[in-house]
Structure 1
Amino acid sequence: MNIRLWNARILTMEETVPIFEGEIWVQQDRITYVGAGKEEEVPVWDMEIRL
């Protein structure tokens, strides 16, 4: 199942990276992308959740 979580506030564990808004992509049982969003190579989503 491919899931897109968007409009999310993302906090990384890196001290130099501030909290930012973006997307989290989950494909099967793995997180495959965390970031501001990208236009290329966008998979077909089974579910999209706006946070």
Structure 2
Amino acid sequence: MVAKTVGLDAKRTKTKFKDVLEIRSSSGYINSAIKAGIINRYPDGTFNLYI
């Protein structure tokens, strides 16, 4: 919801996270939020999508 509100790109894309595949519908929002500095990854390189 935050990503949509601030107008982040939703297009599916490859991310830096080893647990977020490009085929996930959320991959574009996650990648856009990283680039915008809104979120960061865990030290082990994951997003922990399933927490």
Same fold at TM > 0.5: no
Larger radius of gyration: 1
The TM-score with structure 1 as length reference comes to 0.27
Higher relative contact order (CA 8 A, sep 6+): 1
Structure number with higher strand proportion: 1
